Chains A and B, each alone.
Chain A
């Protein structure tokens, strides 16, 4: 099955730093989604992107739908301890199936 390349795999940062992660695909997507998953919980939708070039914010989170439609980026500004978790990207094309990245594990050091 199709899997998205997500990087980095893991990040260790100091509280207050900004974070960037990205997701790339060999295929074009119509929708990009970003999720956060805490241990023992299901993924929670953070941001949805529907148009190439779109830039959308949700509090300290900002995500962009790449112009080529084959990539997406997530930035977290001024990280705090509760940002700890695993972040997943997901893409959706003309069908109604979603394809997921392997996740970026974020650790925030107080």
Chain B
């Protein structure tokens, strides 16, 4: 168990509302990632962070923003949720602690439904 929690685990929200998902790690890993997983698309990178306040866009970043004010927390915000953002969202970490530098560990996921 890599010490990653995500909250909430499930959420239903309405189109147009802002939503924030939280990822918390206890492993002091440098890198943190947000992915979405959809049938037929596999895991796609939304945003990632390479340090506190250092973030970069991934493959599917439109409509999403992130923030990392502490090593242990990485927040994903859907600025104005749309039905196309209905998905399962996974947080992942890599890059220090007792694991190898390039091993990536995943959280349990957040299932988001936008109605």
Q: Are A1 and B44 in contact (CB under 8 A)?
A: yes
How many B residues have CB within 8 A of the partner chain?
A: 26
In B14-33, which residues have CB < 8 Å from any A CB?
Answer: 31, 33
- How many of chain A's residues touch chain B, expressed as a range? 20 to 34
Residues of chain B within 8 A (CB-CB) of A35 are 106
Closest to B104 in A: A98
Closest-CB distance, A68 to chain B (whole angstroms): 19
Closest to B105 in A: A45
Please report the C-alpha to C-alpha distance between residue A3 and residue B41 in the assembled complex, in whole angstroms: 9
Closest to A102 in B: B42
15 contacts between A and B (CB under 8 A): A1-B59, A3-B42, A33-B102, A33-B104, A35-B106, A41-B109, A43-B90, A44-B106, A45-B104, A45-B105, A48-B102, A88-B43, A97-B48, A101-B42, A102-B41
